[in-house]
Amino acid sequence: MTALSRTLISATAGLVLIGLAGCSGGAAGSNGRTTTEQPPTSSAAAAGLKDFDTCAFFTQGDLSAAGVKGPGQKAEQLSFEPGCSYRGEKILLTLYKNAEETVDKYESDGHWDKYEKFSINGRNAARAVEGGGGAVDAGCSIVLDAGDGVVLVDVTEAKPGSVSDKCGEAEKIARHVEPRLPK
């Protein structure tokens, strides 16, 4: 996938969130508010990415800590890399899954301007920065080996100049949720 296509997908996902803010993948609670499903249990986490639901993974606490609100909107522009986007005042957070890649494979298969490998709690990870230019924000993804593929925690700006360190924000979120990702 080219950096431009990932950037356009992130920008499109943001516009979709604005236009479809009333749609929900959650269920109405007794107080009329929309709730999301709980994160996967350890047995579900062991099943890999097949049943990993990117729109049901984050808890309300995760979303609040990231500065975004649910419910998320499905981001399915790429059939092999479905995701879910959440919008906040400063960031657009998208969680993707890809069962065809690993952190190591993505280094050569992806089209990144910068790709720095590291680890989070012993799990292979990488900071993947895509080129931008113009009015479209480039964003930053933290790529983590998970299950039989990878999970990407992608952060872009909600408005120009709203986030000075997109990779730092994405990494903070990734470190927070990493223990619950499929092994």
Per DSSP, the three-state class of 175 is: helix
pLDDT (0 to 100) of residue 7: 42
Per DSSP, the three-state class of 57 is: coil
C-alpha 54/C-alpha 85 separation (Å) is: 9
Q: 101-113, pLDDT tens digit by residue?
A: 999 998 988 778 8
Is it the case that residue 32 has pLDDT exceeding 60? no
Question: In CATH, what is the architecture of 3-180?
Answer: 3-Layer(aba) Sandwich (3.40)
Specify the pairing of strand 140-146 against strand 149-157. antiparallel
Domain ranges of the chain: 3-180
Mean predicted lDDT score pLDDT of the chain: 78
Q: 50-72, pLDDT tens digit by residue?
A: 889 999 999 999 999 999 998 99
Q: 141-168, pLDDT tens digit by residue?
A: 999 999 989 999 999 999 888 888 999 9
Q: The tokens 């943001």 sit on which residue?
A: 14
Tokens standing for 70? 């649910």
